[in-house]
C-alpha cells in the first residue's frame, strides 16, 4: 500500500518537506500546494525524543476536493489550571504541578507556544483520598492574553506574564522555603473556588 507510513499514535510531526509545522491547517496547505499536490512527501517526526524521517503519499478526498494524509492531528489543547506561583522579579510563573497530557495517549504534550487567559471558576469537585478534586472554569480564548507558555514537563507548565499581574502587591509577596526548611504541618493555601478572586 503506497499510502502506508510508519507514523504511530503519539508521534509529533515537526516538518513536512523540511518546512517547520505549527498547525494541522499548515500541513493541508502544503500537501495541496502546486509544488506537492498528490506527491509522496517527506515528514520529519519525533517519537519518544528520537527524530526520524518517513514518507507518506496523500490521498484525494473527492467530497472535499482536497488531498489529505489520513492522519488525525491534534495541534492545540486548552484547559483550566491552577497557578502555583509567580515570581515578582521576572514575572515567570509555574502552574498545575503535573504535565498537560494527550487525552487519548496519555503522553506529555510538547509546548512550542501557548497563551494564558483570565478564568472564572464556576464549580468544583471535592477531592478525596486517592482521587484528586477538580476546579471547573470558563475562559475566553479571544479575551486579553495575560502571558505566554513556553514549557510543559512532568512538574507542570511554565511561562511568563506579559502584563502587570492583577492583584500582585508587596503585601501579598511570600518568600519561598528552601528544601531543608520544608517540614510537615499546617499550611495556608490561596485558592479561587468561585469567580476570579482568590
- Residue 60 confidence (pLDDT) above 70: yes
**Whole-number Å distance between alpha carbons of 107 and 111:** 12
- Residue 180 confidence (pLDDT) above 90: yes
Q: What secondary structure letter does DSSP report for 128?
A: B
- pLDDT given for residue 162 in this prediction: 83
- pLDDT given for residue 185 in this prediction: 92
- Residue 71 confidence (pLDDT) above 50: yes
Q: Which of 61-70, 88-97, 100-109 has the lowest mean pLDDT?
A: 100-109
CA gyration radius for the chain? 22
SS3 label, residue 30: helix
Once rounded to an integer, what is the mean pLDDT over residues 33-51? 85
Nearest to 196 by CA among 140, 151, 113, 114: 140
Torsion over CA of 109, 114, 118 and 124, rounded to 10 degrees?
-10
Contact 159, 142 (CB under 8 A): no
- pLDDT given for residue 138 in this prediction: 80
**Whole-number Å distance between alpha carbons of 180 and 34:** 62
Amino acid at each position: 500500500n503506497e499510502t502506508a507510513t510508519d507514523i504511530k499514535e503519539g508521534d509529533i510531526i515537526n516538518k513536512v518537506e523540511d518546512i517547520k509545522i505549527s498547525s494541522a491547517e499548515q500541513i493541508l496547505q502544503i500537501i495541496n500546494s502546486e509544488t506537492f499536490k498528490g506527491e509522496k512527501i517527506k515528514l520529519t517526526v519525533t517519537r519518544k525524543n528520537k527524530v526520524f524521517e518517513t514518507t507518506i503519499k496523500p490521498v484525494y478526498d473527492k467530497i472535499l476536493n482536497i488531498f489529505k494524509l489520513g492522519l488525525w492531528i491534534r495541534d492545540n489543547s486548552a484547559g483550566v489550571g491552577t497557578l502555583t506561583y509567580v515570581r515578582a522579579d521576572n514575572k515567570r510563573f509555574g502552574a498545575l504541578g503535573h504535565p498537560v497530557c494527550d487525552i487519548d495517549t496519555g503522553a506529555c504534550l510538547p509546548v512550542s507556544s501557548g497563551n494564558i487567559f483570565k478564568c472564572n471558576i464556576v464549580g468544583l469537585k471535592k477531592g478525596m483520598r486517592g482521587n484528586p478534586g477538580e476546579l471547573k472554569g470558563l475562559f475566553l480564548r479571544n479575551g486579553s492574553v495575560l502571558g505566554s507558555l513556553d514549557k510543559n514537563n512532568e512538574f507542570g507548565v511554565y511561562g511568563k506574564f506579559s502584563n502587570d499581574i492583577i492583584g500582585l502587591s508587596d503585601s501579598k509577596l511570600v518568600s519561598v522555603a528552601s528544601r531543608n526548611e520544608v517540614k510537615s504541618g499546617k499550611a495556608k493555601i490561596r485558592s479561587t473556588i468561585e469567580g476570579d478572586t482568590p
